[in-house]
């Protein structure tokens, strides 16, 4: 999965959005200088599980913000310098989490203060455990998930985060980059919709069909569905590189004599007809020529 790092402006916008929440939630926690490694690990587990329960794309721990007032206070916490024993803190946390998840840590100045944000993905198909125990936030407390069997059951049975189509092919994408990566004119042509006049209207339509998902900070996730159907180039998406379509033409009526193979790098919906036409052209005929003999369309 491609993950695009947020710049300072995007981090500041994210900080504003999170601090404007009326209360801490099951997927957002605020701290100032409470940097106990065990508590951080339990919080990551609890917030990841809470994000799955509430179908959030991310969970967050924000250091440098008072939990009661959401006032910016700054923090002395420097996670990349912190250690647990002789091990770097981030490495220790990753090792203790099961299944392993790719959380990100951002450190940045804001209003003259130092802030730290842990950005945590949701649990996908089972609860996230820390040091062999899964946690959940109940009010302002972090509790063992096993004490709340109904919540645990909902995480195990959450279908949204288990489907390939809803998973992220690329995250933290700025709006203009979405329109660079996706062949949105093909989407509107194939769905027989008029092309909107504004960027925001285009993005809104793409989101309605699950091709993209809004993230905090004015950013977007491009879903596997969006990329695999309408990518301008699947090689831009690390997790989908091997899903490119190949057209293999064989001599005769069996698959023992391949004579031509062509790989397409566009999304399936936007690129299929062009790939077939290109294969036919290479063969020296029109579209109908590509249907003589056996033509196999495969992906990896």
Residues of the chain with confidence (pLDDT) below 50: 1, 286-298
* Predicted local confidence at residue 293, as pLDDT: 46
* Predicted local confidence at residue 298, as pLDDT: 46
Output the six-digit token pair for 238. Answer: 């690390």
Query: Mind listing the pLDDT tens digit for each residue in 100-148?
Result: 888 999 999 999 999 999 999 999 878 999 999 999 999 889 999 999 9
Buried b (16+ CB within 10 A) or exposed e, 254-267: eeeeeeeeeebebb
CA gap 256, 71 in Å, rounded: 70
Other CB atoms within a 10 A radius of the CB of residue 235 amount to 11
Q: What is 233-252 written as a DSSP string?
A: -GGGSGGGGGG-EEEEEEST
* Predicted local confidence at residue 290, as pLDDT: 43
The answer to whether 234 touches 242, Cβ cutoff 8 Å, is: no
* Predicted local confidence at residue 294, as pLDDT: 45
* Predicted local confidence at residue 265, as pLDDT: 79
**Among 202, 231, 200, residue whose Cα is nearest residue 218:** 200
* Predicted local confidence at residue 241, as pLDDT: 77
Reported as type and span, the H/E element at residue 271 is helix 268-283
* Predicted local confidence at residue 278, as pLDDT: 55
Q: 231: which DSSP letter?
A: B
Q: How far is CA 56 from the centre of its chain?
A: 11
Locate CATH 3.30.950 in the chain: 2-161
* Predicted local confidence at residue 286, as pLDDT: 47
CATH number, span 2-161: 3.30.950
């Amino acid at each position: 999965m491609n993950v695009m790092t947020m710049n300072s402006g995007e981090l500041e916008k994210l900080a504003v959005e999170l601090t404007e929440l009326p209360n801490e939630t099951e997927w957002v926690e605020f701290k100032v200088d409470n940097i106990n490694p065990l508590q951080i690990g339990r919080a990551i587990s609890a917030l990841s599980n809470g994000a799955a329960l509430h179908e959030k794309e991310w969970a967050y721990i924000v250091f440098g913000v008072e939990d009661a007032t959401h006032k910016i206070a700054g923090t002395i916490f420097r996670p990349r310098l912190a250690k647990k024993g002789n091990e770097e803190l981030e490495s220790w946390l990753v090792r203790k989490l099961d299944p392993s998840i790719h959380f990100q840590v951002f450190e940045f100045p804001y209003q003259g203060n130092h802030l730290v944000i842990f950005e945590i993905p949701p649990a996908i198909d089972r609860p996230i455990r820390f040091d062999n125990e899964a946690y959940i936030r109940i009010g302002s407390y972090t509790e063992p998930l096993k004490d709340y069997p109904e919540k645990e059951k909902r995480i195990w049975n959450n279908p949204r985060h288990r489907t390939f189509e809803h998973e992220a092919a690329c995250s933290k994408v700025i709006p203009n980059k979405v329109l660079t990566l996706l062949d949105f004119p093909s989407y509107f042509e194939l769905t027989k919709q008029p092309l909107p006049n504004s960027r925001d209207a285009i993005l809104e339509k793409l989101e309605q069909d699950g091709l993209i998902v809004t993230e905090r900070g004015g950013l977007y996730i491009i879903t596997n569905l969006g990329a695999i159907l309408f990518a301008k180039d699947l090689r831009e998406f690390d997790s989908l590189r091997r899903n490119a379509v190949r057209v293999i033409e064989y001599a005769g009526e069996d698959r023992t004599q391949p004579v031509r193979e062509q790989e397409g790098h566009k999304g399936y919906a936007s690129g299929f007809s062009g790939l077939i036409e290109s294969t036919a052209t290479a063969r020296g005929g029109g579209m109908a020529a590509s249907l003589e003999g056996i033509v196999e369309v495969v992906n990896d």
